[in-house]
Amino acid sequence: MSSKPPVAVFPPHQDAKDRPSSDSITFQAKVLHHAIESSSSAVPLNFPTQAPEPAVMPHPIMFAPSASVVHKSDADAHLHRTRGNKLSPLPWTKFFDKRRHIKTNRGSFCIYELGEGTTAFILLHGGGMSALSFAMFARELCARDTSARVIAIDFRGHGQTIALPQDDLSKETLCNDVVSVLDVLLNLPSSADVEPIDCDAVYLVGHSMGGAIAVHLASMDVVPKFAGLVVVDVVEGTAMDSLPAMEGFLKTRPKRFRSVEEVVDWTLHTGQLRSRMSARVSVPDQVVPVEPPSADATTPALSATGDGPMDATASVPVAKDDGTTPSVYGHVGAACDGTTPQETSRAIGHDQDSCHKDASHVPRTTALSTIGAVSPHHVEYTWRVDLQRSEQYWHGWFHGMSAAFLTVTVPKLLILAGITTLDVDLTVGQMQGKFQMQVLQGVGHCVHEDSPAQVAELLKTFTARNRASKVPVVLK
C-alpha cells in the first residue's frame, strides 16, 4: 500500500503584534546600546510594550526570509483554509485622496497624495515595491498631523510610472527623476494647468533603496524648502554586506502566481509583511498579469480584469484610472493618457487622474475556488520588476551613503527594524548627536508597513521638534 506524502500545515495568519518573526534570518548583529542611550536627541516616546522578538537584519532591497520552497499543493491547502480571511486587493482610494501623473522631460511619474497641509513629505519606496507601500503610513500620519501633506512617488520601472528605459535604476537616474518631479510640484510652474504644492517645509522619507536615494538627493542640495531627512531601515554597511545574499533569495522566490490573492498570501506567510491590510493594498501593485503559453494560438488573451482581450504586443503594465490594482496591459511605453513614448519624453506638466475617492469598481481576479484549475483563459501573475536585472546598480545605491548622510545639515532621523550594526562613521556621528536614531522591535524590514502608526508617531514628534526649534526666542 502506497503512503501519501505528508502535507505541510500552515498556521493561520496573525496580527502583527502576535505574529512571531522569522527565526530563519541568518543576519543578526548588535549595536552599541550606550550609543543610543547617550544621544540627547532621542525622542522620548511611550509606546505600548511588546514582547521582545529576535532582531531582524534590514535588507537593502526587501525583507528576505529563508528560501523555503512552498509547493503548490501546500499553497492550495493553505489558501483554501484561509478563504474566510480577506486576501483580495484594496484600492488606493481607501488611503489616498488622489493620484496624478506628473509629466516631465524624463517621463510620466505616478504620485499619490493625501492631506492639504503645508508640511510636505516626499515618500520614496524600496526596490521592487511601489508608492502604495506607504498607503497605511500616509493615512496614519495625516490622521495625527493636520499640517502634513503626503506625496508618494513611483520610481521608474515601478508601480504606474512610465519612463524609458524602464530598467535604468542607477542612482543618478533615480535622483534626477525625483528632481524633475519636485521641479514641477514645488517650483513655480510656467504652465497654467499645473497645480503646484503649496508648502513651507519639505521632508524626504525613504525606505530601503528609496532611503539611499533620499540620502543622495539630500546631499545634492536640490530639494527646495528642505527641512528634514528620514531614512527607514537601511545603512550602508549592512546593505553592502547583504548584497551577496540578495541574488540567492531572488532565485528562490516564486516566479509565477495563479492569482493576486496567492501573491498576498505568499508575502504574509513568508514574513515579508506582517500587516494583512498593508499587504492587500501594496502587494498587488508589485505584480502584473501574464498569459501562459497556449496551444491554441487563436484564443485571445484576457486582460487582468477579465474585461476583454489583451493586446498581444503589450509589455508595459498601465493601470486603469479607477483606483484599482492590479493594472492591465497597455502598449509599450504608453502613458495613461495614451501618449506615445516620444510624446511622453517631451511633455512637461502633469495630467490629473479622473479617478477620485468615489471610485468603487474592483477588478475581478482569479477566484479562490478555482486555484489549481487548468483553464485556457487562466491568467497568471509575475513580478512587475525583475530585480535581478538591476544587480548592476545595487552597489551604487548604497556606496558612500554613510558619508553623504552625515554631511546633510538638516535634522535627520534613522529608523531601524531591530538592532543592527552601524559602521564606524555612523556610530561616531550618532554618539555626537548628529542625527536621531530610533530602533523598533517586532517589525520586519518594511517597518512602515508592519507598524505604520508607530512610524507615523515618530515622524510627527520629529517634525514637531524641528518646528519648535526654529521658533525665535524673544528676550525681554
Q: Which residues are catalytic?
A: 208, 233, 445
Among the listed residues 211, 15, 29, the one whose alpha carbon sits nearest the alpha carbon of residue 124: 211
Contact 234, 52 (CB under 8 A): no
SS (H, E, C) the chain: CCCCCCCCCCCCCCCCCCCCCCCCCCCCCCCCHHHHHCCCCCCCCCCCCCCCCCCCCCCCCCCCCCCCCCCHHHHHHHHHHCCCCCCCCCCHHHCCCEEEEEEECCEEEEEEEECCCCEEEEEECCCCCCHHHHHHHHHHHHHHCCCEEEEEECCCCCCCCECCCCCCCCHHHHHHHHHHHHHHHHCCCCCCCCCCCCCCEEEEEEECHHHHHHHHHHHHCCCCCEEEEEEECCCHHHHHHHHHHHHHHHHHCCCCECCHHHHHHHHHHCCCCCCHHHHHHHHHHHEEEECCCCCCCCCCCECCCCCCECCCCCCEEECCCCCCCCCEEECCCCCCCCCCHHHHHHCCEEEECCCCCCCCCCCCCCCHHHCCCCCCCCCEEEECCCHHHHHHHHHHHHCCHHHHHHHCCCCEEEEEECCCCCCHHHHHHHHCCCCEEEEECCCCCCHHHHCHHHHHHHHHHHHHHHHHHCCCCCCC
Q: Select from 312, 310, 330 the least CA-distant residue to 320.
A: 330
In the numeric block, which cell numbers belong to residue 271?
Answer: 514574513
